[in-house]
């Protein structure tokens, strides 16, 4: 079984980051951070008694096995909410009011169906749970109207079911974490090539349910673009989708469940395109004089080629603080903006694309940064650990992301950064706002913002105020409220504004059809 993430932060507790004195001094000088805010002691956490009735518990035990229905405090704490900064601020202060009443661990598709049947009859809400990595309130269901809340932990569904090497399609169960899926496929010489920052803990089912996008998306594409088939358990039965890669047999119903975040059904199998594992991987850094010029270089590459496998660009502020190199926070930057280009494939393919892309970067004034690519590759999963250390030190640290067309990138960048600075400064906590282009497409790109400020007396309200202002700015500037983090609870109201009331009614109609009693992740995605 995989290890559980820390109850009070991200990832493996043994990998927690400690801030050095020079970083603490930087926080004091730049943000006015002076008072540490450590999490409460684990022994001081107190849960209310489980509300799951004896009859429902016995029926769940009959469905999945008694040892796979857990109501102990440790398991319930580890399945409380996700890993956004608001999630962590609440649990670090001891708030466990919405801890689940039980955790059920099914071992098959049929067991998932039976759990849904039992919970429907007992009026129990069900929260599908993969790696627990949601950063948008995707594991924060509405409790009102339900007798109890059960988390459906899918970790026992962890098999590589099939690998069609002719079609290069793998069928994977949803509970497989990223590294385990890659290891199983690697034994056969294949890869998905999907490496989001949550890769070490997120799961195949979560990648699909949240429309995940990996750091090598320029070369491999988004995860949802690679999905060719799904099996979904709903309270009304099973849905099998994907008889062929593409079809004209009506609307593509796979898209109803990709991005549905467990509100429409529980994904129990994913068919995904795979590729031969690359023989060569090379990552490089480039310095460009400005974010605007760097964005033009990225647009040229993705529209006209050659396209690197990894392609991202930090703005001046992020480059200066070296957040592209988490181990060197505060070490200072070399000016301008840092771009990362990466190449994966055969030796011949990598060399050809690398030469062509390097020529384009030089055309836009880029200068090689010899250490940046390797440093980025070594530290690309460390960002969330740094966030936790900043929270301990008394800083507020969080991220948000959006996307738009290339013609709107400058407007969106200025609008969101301006809203965050104006709002947090108005609250008496002037921030540092950093940004990078994290994913690129021929017609547009995503912007990923990192925000740091001193915590106010009520940091939860502080961030929610800033996040709402940023969301308003995103919609006003024509961007999407989310590019790859998903909707959850945090983006629900802005999603409704983005797509309009008629489209919301369409989603509600789908929900009412597949989950008429509304037990699946109630309140997530749609109200």
Domains along the chain with CATH numbers: 160-276 (3.30.465.10), 280-379 (3.30.70.3450)
Q: Which of 202-211, 230-239, 321-330 has the weakest average pLDDT?
A: 321-330
What pLDDT, on the 0 to 100 scale, is given for residue 334?
A: 57
Give the 3-state secondary structure of residue 512. helix
Tally the residues of the chain: 527
Q: Which residue has the tokens 């507020």?
A: 396
Question: How would residue 329 be classed by pLDDT, with cut points 50, 70 and 90?
Answer: very low
Q: Which of 225-239, 286-300, 369-383 has the weakest average pLDDT?
A: 369-383
Q: How much helix, strand and coil, in percent to the nearest 5, is found in the chain?
A: 40, 20, 40
What pLDDT, on the 0 to 100 scale, is given for residue 325?
A: 45
Q: What is d(CA 366, CA 350) in angstroms, rounded to the nearest whole number?
A: 19
Query: Around Cβ 377, how many Cβ atoms within 10 Å?
Result: 15
At CB < 8 A and 24+ separation, what contacts does 256-259 make? 256/510, 257/208, 257/209, 257/230, 257/232, 258/208, 258/209, 258/211, 258/224, 258/227, 258/230, 259/209, 259/210, 259/211, 259/224, 259/486, 259/487
Token pair for 328: 């060197």
What pLDDT, on the 0 to 100 scale, is given for residue 331?
A: 43
Q: What is d(CA 512, CA 506) in angstroms, rounded to the nearest whole number?
A: 10
Question: How would residue 54 be classed by pLDDT, with cut points 50, 70 and 90?
Answer: very high
Q: What is d(CA 406, CA 414) in angstroms, rounded to the nearest whole number?
A: 14
Q: What is the layout of strands, in order, in the sheet containing 227-234?
A: 160-164, 169-172, 266-273, 227-234, 237-241
Share of residues in the chain with pLDDT > 90 (%): 94
- The mean predicted confidence, pLDDT, of the chain is 95
pLDDT mean over 79-107: 97
**Residue 160 phi/psi, 5° resolution?**
-85, 105
Whether the per-residue pLDDT at 130 is higher than 50: the answer is: yes
* Element holding 374 (H helix, E strand): helix 372-379
Kindly list the distances between the CA atom of residue 131 and the CA atoms of 79, 87, 161, 174, in Å, as whole numbers in the listed order. 10, 15, 20, 10
What pLDDT, on the 0 to 100 scale, is given for residue 335?
A: 78
211 CB-near residues (< 8 Å, 6+ apart) = 222, 223, 224, 258, 259, 484, 486
Dihedral, CA of residue 365, residue 368, residue 374 and residue 379, to nearest 10: -40
pLDDT mean over 153-172: 98
- Confirm if 204 and 181 have CB atoms less than 8 A apart: yes
Q: What is d(CA 176, CA 182) in angstroms, rounded to the nearest whole number?
A: 9
- Confirm if 330 and 23 have CB atoms less than 8 A apart: yes
Helices within 11-154 (DSSP H only): 21-31, 54-64, 73-78, 85-92, 109-122
- Confirm if 333 and 450 have CB atoms less than 8 A apart: no
Token pair for 247: 């079809």
What pLDDT, on the 0 to 100 scale, is given for residue 324?
A: 41
66 CB-near residues (< 8 Å, 6+ apart) = none
Q: What is d(CA 349, CA 280) in angstroms, rounded to the nearest whole number?
A: 9
What pLDDT, on the 0 to 100 scale, is given for residue 3?
A: 81
Question: How would residue 511 be classed by pLDDT, with cut points 50, 70 and 90?
Answer: very high
- Confirm if 37 and 19 have CB atoms less than 8 A apart: no
């Amino acid at each position: 079984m995989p290890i559980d993430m820390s109850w009070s932060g991200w990832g493996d507790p043994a990998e927690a980051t400690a801030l050095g004195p020079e970083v603490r001094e930087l926080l004091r000088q730049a943000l006015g951070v002076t008072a540490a805010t450590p999490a409460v002691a684990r022994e001081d956490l107190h849960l209310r008694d489980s509300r799951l009735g004896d009859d429902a518990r016995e029926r769940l035990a009959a469905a999945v096995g008694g040892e796979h229905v857990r109501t102990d405090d440790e398991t319930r704490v580890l399945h409380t909410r996700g890993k956004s900064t608001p999630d962590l601020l609440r649990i670090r202060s001891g708030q466990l009011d919405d801890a689940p009443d039980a955790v059920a661990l099914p071992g098959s598709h049929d067991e998932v169906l039976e759990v849904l049947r039992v919970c429907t009859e007992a009026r129990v809400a069900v929260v599908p749970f993969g790696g627990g990595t949601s950063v948008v309130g995707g594991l924060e269901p509405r409790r009102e109207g339900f007798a109890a809340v059960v988390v459906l932990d899918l970790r026992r569904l962890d098999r590589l079911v099939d690998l069609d090497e002719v079609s290069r399609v793998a069928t994977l169960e949803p509970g497989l974490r990223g590294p385990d899926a890659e290891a199983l496929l690697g034994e056969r010489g294949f890869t998905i090539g999907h490496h989001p920052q949550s890769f070490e803990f997120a799961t195949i089912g979560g990648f699909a349910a949240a429309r995940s996008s990996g750091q090598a998306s320029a070369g491999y594409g988004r995860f949802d673009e690679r999905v060719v088939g799904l099996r979904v358990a709903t309270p009304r039965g099973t849905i099998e989708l994907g008889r062929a890669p593409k079809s004209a047999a009506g609307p593509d119903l796979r898209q109803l469940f990709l991005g549905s975040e467990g509100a429409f059904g529980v994904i129990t199998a994913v068919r995904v395109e795979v590729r031969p594992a690359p023989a060569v991987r090379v990552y490089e850094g480039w310095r460009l004089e400005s974010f605007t010029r760097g964005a033009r270089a990225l647009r040229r590459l993705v529209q006209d080629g050659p396209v690197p496998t990894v392609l991202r660009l930090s703005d001046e502020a992020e480059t200066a603080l070296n957040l592209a190199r988490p181990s060197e926070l505060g070490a200072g930057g070399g000016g301008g903006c840092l771009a990362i280009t990466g190449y994966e494939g055969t030796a011949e393919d990598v060399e050809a694309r690398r030469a062509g892309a390097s020529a384009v970067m030089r055309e836009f004034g880029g200068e090689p940064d010899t250490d940046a690519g390797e440093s980025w590759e070594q530290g690309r999963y460390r960002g969330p650990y740094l966030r936790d250390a900043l929270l301990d030190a008394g800083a507020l640290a969080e991220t948000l992301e959006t996307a738009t067309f290339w013609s709107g990138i400058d407007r969106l960048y200025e609008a969101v950064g301006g809203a965050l600075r104006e709002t947090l400064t108005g609250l008496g906590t002037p921030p540092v706002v950093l940004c990078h282009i994290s994913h690129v497409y021929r017609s547009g790109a995503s912007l990923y913002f990192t925000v740091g400020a001193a915590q106010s007396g009520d940091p939860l309200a502080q961030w929610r105020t800033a996040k709402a202002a940023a969301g308003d700015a995103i919609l006003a500037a024509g961007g999407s409220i989310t590019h790859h983090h998903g909707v959850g609870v945090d983006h629900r109201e802005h999603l409704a504004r983005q797509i309009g009331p008629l489209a919301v009614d369409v989603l509600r109609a789908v929900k009412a059809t597949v989950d008429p009693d509304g037990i699946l992740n109630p309140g997530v995605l749609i109200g």
